[in-house]
Amino acid sequence: MNHDDLELTMQDYLDDRMDPAERAQFEARMVDDPDLAAAVAELAEIGDTLRATEDDLPERFYADTRARFEAERAPRRIHDAFRWESVGLLAAALVVAAILLPVVWKQGLFLSSPPEATKARPTEALGDARVRQDPAVVDEIRVSDAVDAEREESPAAVPFAPSPPDDVVSDRDLAGRKDEKKAAPDREGALAKEKAHEPEPLEEQVESEYEERIASNVPTDAVEPGRRAETVPSPPSTAGADAPAKMSRTRNQAVAESDDKSDAARDNFADAESFGVGQSFGPRGAAIPAGVLPESAVIDVPGADAWKRWLTRVGGLGAERLSPRFPDERVVLIGPRPDPLRCDRIVALPGGNIGVPVSPSEAGDRGGCAVVVPAGGAEIEFLHHEGAR
């Protein structure tokens, strides 16, 4: 009997897959071969040890799991409700239409032509008097009309650009609007004005903003040689700050105000520190492509066990990349958001501050990122582009 056969035979004995005759024969053989008997005993003991070890789940596991279930089911419930509501509304609309249609038809409302006044283009109605007074105005109106018509005819010609949130206006936008007010109302000015309204292609806008930041603010020694290029891949912009960014900036401001050493400021600083803000990033950063993050925006994980648990829970990916040394380094998790979030490698910002380029991700789950930060005083800034996708 070769070695493999022996292993299989021992296993059949242990797993009770022998008939009585084979079993008796094998037991007799074990009596003659103490090594074989020891090997079988060892295998049996290993099995017993594997089965006997108790591993209790902590109570927090159930709370966490339930919370995650609720969080993940919530959007679906909303979706379901919306779907049924939509079906109901559609049915109601059809019923109303079926009732009203004969009445409308009887009264012949479909046959009446619209009033002539409504056919006139607003610019023509508005411009009649002005055209008679000043021929230059005619040119201006014609240019505007031409651009309007072009827009209406070829909507695809307008380059895609994300619309920033209504409540967020960048400095560039404000400057552009001021310039527009100053522009002369001649033909070229009108064209320039229309051009100014066209959004810059996303990548150019992002790159130029980023280059501006680097060129104007970042000290040359603040960024490692050859590092700028590798930290640019995501489209960073300060215009579309999201909720986590807002939170972090608020806390950063609190950190800045803590210079007066007042008790209140010290409290603020302590609060900020507990969230991982007010610390500088080291030369390391890692993105976790997707995963469910805890319901907080920024979390500083202070202990080795805690960070391992968090990171494992966050995405199952990337934990092996982070090896902070406590207490000198900490892990900061960034997220969650209603849409997936992707972090790129961190960049140095002026004053020793650190930027984290974040952008929406195509990942199918809510995402976020984790970074290792050494203890320190620099601020964290999120370079977020809301519309990038």
Partner 1 sequence: MREPSGQSGVQSIDGARAERETARLLQAVRRGDPEAFDRIAREHAPRLFRLAVRLCGNRDEAEDLVQDTLVRALPALTRFEGRARLSTYLVRSLTNQWKNRLRSKSRSRLVPWPERRADGPDGPSAPAEFPDDAPSAQDRMESSDRAAEVRDAVAKLEPDRRLALLLREVEDMSYEDIAAMTGVPVGTVRSRLARARRDLRALLGGRS
Residue linked to tokens 């020793």: 352
3-class secondary-structure state, position 20: helix
- Minimum CB distance to partner 1, residue 79 (Å): 11
* Residue 38 tokens, joined: 């020891």
The answer to the question of residue 65 lying near partner 1 (CB under 8 A) is yes
Under 8 Å between Cβ of 292 and 366: yes
Nearer to partner 1, 60 or 178 (CB): 60
Go through 362-373 and write b for each residue having 16 or more CB atoms within 10 A of its CB, e for each that does not: ebeebbbbbbbb
Nearer to partner 1, 289 or 335 (CB): 289
- The CA distance from 36 to 41, in Å, is 9
- The CA distance from 151 to 148, in Å, is 5
The answer to the question of residue 286 lying near partner 1 (CB under 8 A) is yes
The answer to the question of residue 19 lying near partner 1 (CB under 8 A) is no
- The CA distance from 166 to 160, in Å, is 17
Q: How far is CA 303 from the centre of its chain?
A: 26
**Interacting residue with partner 1 among 31, 57, 109, 129 (CB under 8 A):** 57
**Total chain residues near partner 1 (CB under 8 A):** 55
Site string for partner 1, 202-231 (x = CB under 8 A): ----------------------------x-
The answer to whether the bond into 20 is cis (omega within 30° of 0) is: no
**Interacting residue with partner 1 among 33, 69, 197, 201 (CB under 8 A):** 69
The answer to the question of residue 365 lying near partner 1 (CB under 8 A) is no
The answer to the question of residue 200 lying near partner 1 (CB under 8 A) is no
Question: What are φ and ψ of residue 333, in 5° steps?
Answer: -100, 140
The answer to the question of residue 51 lying near partner 1 (CB under 8 A) is yes
* Residue 90 tokens, joined: 């559609």
The answer to the question of residue 362 lying near partner 1 (CB under 8 A) is no
What's the farthest any 2 CA atoms get from each other in the chain?
123
The answer to the question of residue 29 lying near partner 1 (CB under 8 A) is no
The answer to the question of residue 233 lying near partner 1 (CB under 8 A) is no
* First-last CA distance in the chain: 64
Under 8 Å between Cβ of 278 and 269: yes
Nearer to partner 1, 4 or 152 (CB): 4
**Interacting residue with partner 1 among 1, 52, 109, 156 (CB under 8 A):** 52
Nearer to partner 1, 63 or 104 (CB): 63
- The CA distance from 287 to 240, in Å, is 20
**Interacting residue with partner 1 among 30, 37, 39, 223 (CB under 8 A):** 39
The answer to the question of residue 18 lying near partner 1 (CB under 8 A) is no
- The amino acid at residue 47 is G
- Minimum CB distance to partner 1, residue 292 (Å): 9
Of all residues in the chain, what percent are helix, strand and coil, respectively (each to 5)? 55, 10, 35
**Interacting residue with partner 1 among 189, 199, 318, 352 (CB under 8 A):** 318
Q: Rule CB under 8 A: which residues touch partner 1?
A: 4, 7-8, 10-11, 15, 17, 35, 38-39, 42-43, 46-47, 49-53, 55-57, 61-62, 64-66, 68-70, 72-74, 76-77, 230, 283-284, 286-287, 289, 304-305, 308-309, 312-313, 316-321, 323, 345
